[in-house]
Amino acid sequence: MNSEFDQLLSRPRRLRRNENIRRLVRETYLHRDDLIAPVFVIAGSNIKNEIPSMPDVFQYSIDRLNEEMDALLKAGITRVILFGIPAAKDEVGSDAISDDGIIQQAIRYIKQTYSDIFVITDVCMCEYTDHGHCGIIVDGDVHNDQTLTYLQRQVVSHAKAGADMVAPSGMMDGMISAIRTGLNDHGFNSIPIMSYAVKYSSAFYGPFREAADSTPHFGDRKTYQMDPANVREGIKEALLDVDEGADIIMVKPALAYLDIISMVKENTLLPVACYNVSGEYSMIKAAAQKGWIDEDKVMMESLISMKRAGADIIITYFAKQASSLLNKV
């Protein structure tokens, strides 16, 4: 049927007519190689605790860690970032720097048992201190420079245990320089650093703090994590970490900070990672359980948005689920 609009020259819908052509001209793709899976390791034996606020996410004792590693490999995920829940905590987070700490044990187990798994370790003290803050407390606040010494000891112990990469998350000034120096001084100059360079003081971390037992026992983290209102400060933080020797720059959280991911990408030549954090995960899970959204479609759309914003790497609790869907494509 002819119409007065037959002579329109520009018809973008021509490239949307079916899935075949849509895939042909698609601009952004998500691949399982983009994904890193967070894994929570807890002291003890025969433990697999589902985290109430994070459906399908568990704490594993080392003797049951094989269950998660096997499931990840089956889904095609070969990269993990480890978070530890120790048997005991103290004011200086001694387990974090112990060669027999929970993370150090987990690294050795994974590297000895799963040669295909690339092990990244979160480097911070909040999971190991009895006060729940990310460093050494002096006069009611985290002392930046004293904390750097402990972070150096922590990364060296991780490297000795066999970690493939370290990921400092405490937002201490100068942490990348201190960690790079500590690694190099002990012969670990080939271990890359993925810096939580642009980490905001976010309400989206709530479920993680339950998972990692890392809620501060007093105050908050606003003196070291970033103000969510700030953009230029985030670029400054990223560039400082580039200058200090970071190999990958991370933005955390992801969904509420897509603009920051994009700006960091524009301002550095390093790979850019983002952390699809616990609150973002739990909101999708909760809405899906209510029947309000299609979980798989919303999950994939969210992850694609992070890639579209400029993230090369996505840390996500959806790693297995997303990769399993990608395997079917």
Q: Is residue 19 part of a domain?
A: no
Average pLDDT over every residue of 183-207:
94
DSSP assignment string, 226-280: BPTT-SHHHHHHHHHHHHHT-SEEEEESSGGGHHHHHHHHHH-SS-EEEEE-HHH
Q: Is residue 16 part of a domain?
A: no
Question: For residue 51, is pLDDT > 60?
Answer: yes
Greatest alpha-carbon span in the chain: 80
Note if 265 is an active site residue.
Answer: no
Q: What is the pLDDT of residues 39-49, one digit of tens each?
A: 999 999 999 99
pLDDT tier for residue 71 given thresholds of 50, 70 and 90: very high
pLDDT at 2: 64
Give the residue carrying structure tokens 């819908």.
Answer: 13
pLDDT at 133: 75
- Catalytic-role residue among 89, 252, 265, 285: 252
Q: Is residue 11 part of a domain?
A: no
Measured CA to CA in angstroms, residue 289 lies from 129, 280, 293 at distances of 35, 15, 8
Question: For residue 65, is pLDDT > 90?
Answer: yes
Those residues with Cβ within 8 angstroms of residue 226's Cβ, 6 or more apart along the chain or in another chain: 171, 198, 199, 200, 201, 233, 234, 237
Note if 160 is an active site residue.
Answer: no
Question: Cα(120)–Cα(83) distance, rounded to whole angstroms?
Answer: 10
Q: Is residue 46 part of a domain?
A: yes
Average pLDDT over every residue of 53-68:
96
pLDDT at 64: 97
pTM: 0.93
pLDDT tier for residue 50 given thresholds of 50, 70 and 90: very high
DSSP code for 200: B
Question: Cα(253)–Cα(283) distance, rounded to whole angstroms?
Answer: 14
Q: Is residue 12 part of a domain?
A: no
Higher pLDDT, 292 or 9: 292
Neighbours of 209 (CB within 10 A): 16
Higher pLDDT, 5 or 106: 106
The domain of 200 spans 30-327
pLDDT at 5: 67
Q: Is residue 54 part of a domain?
A: yes
Query: With pLDDT > 70 as the criterion, what percentage of the chain qualifies?
Result: 93
pLDDT at 144: 87
Question: For residue 128, is pLDDT > 70?
Answer: yes
- Catalytic-role residue among 74, 111, 160, 199: 199
Average pLDDT over every residue of 140-169:
92
Question: For residue 329, is pLDDT > 60?
Answer: no
pLDDT tier for residue 301 given thresholds of 50, 70 and 90: very high
pLDDT at 224: 77
pLDDT tier for residue 258 given thresholds of 50, 70 and 90: very high
Q: How many domains does the chain have?
A: 1
Question: For residue 155, is pLDDT > 80?
Answer: yes
Question: Cα(267)–Cα(238) distance, rounded to whole angstroms?
Answer: 9
Task: Output the domain CATH number for residue 299.
Answer: 3.20.20.70
Average pLDDT over every residue of 102-109:
97
Q: Is residue 224 part of a domain?
A: yes
Averaged pLDDT score across all residues of the chain:
91
pLDDT at 100: 94
Average pLDDT over every residue of 57-66:
96
Question: For residue 157, is pLDDT > 70?
Answer: yes
Average pLDDT over every residue of 295-302:
97
Question: For residue 177, is pLDDT > 90?
Answer: yes
Q: Is residue 13 part of a domain?
A: no
Q: What is the pLDDT of residues 214-254, one digit of tens each?
A: 666 655 667 778 899 999 999 999 999 999 999 999 999 99
